[in-house]
Amino acid sequence: MRNSVDVTINGSSLAVESGCTVAAAISIAQVPCRISITGEKRGPLCAMGICFECRATVNGVSYTRTCQLLCEQAMDICTQ
């Protein structure tokens, strides 16, 4: 992979290509961005930061819109 960065998603390491959004990295890891209150797996819907379906905790910041954020080296992402 050309110019990759290493991130951690729910405690598991993942190398993604530089320029990858956090939402795409979560998708590559095959985990949902969040679980709804009714138990449904949720993920990016609009990819424009409007719907908030892609929100997760990134580097300790809750409710981050992951479709609008590029992965950075050693980023800690928690979807649970």
Q: Write the CATH number for 32.
A: 3.10.20.30
Question: If DSSP codes are grouped into helix, strand and coil, which group holds residue 66?
Answer: helix
Q: How high is the pLDDT of residue 7? A: 98
Average pLDDT, the chain: 94
Domain encompassing residue 64: 4-78
- Using the predicted structure, report yes or no on whether residue 64 has a pLDDT greater than 80: yes
The 10 Å Cβ neighbour count of residue 27 is 17
Q: How high is the pLDDT of residue 80? A: 78
Number of domains in the chain: 1
- Using the predicted structure, report yes or no on whether residue 17 has a pLDDT greater than 70: yes
To the nearest 10°, report the CA torsion of 38, 30, 28, 77. 60
The pTM for the full model equals 0.91
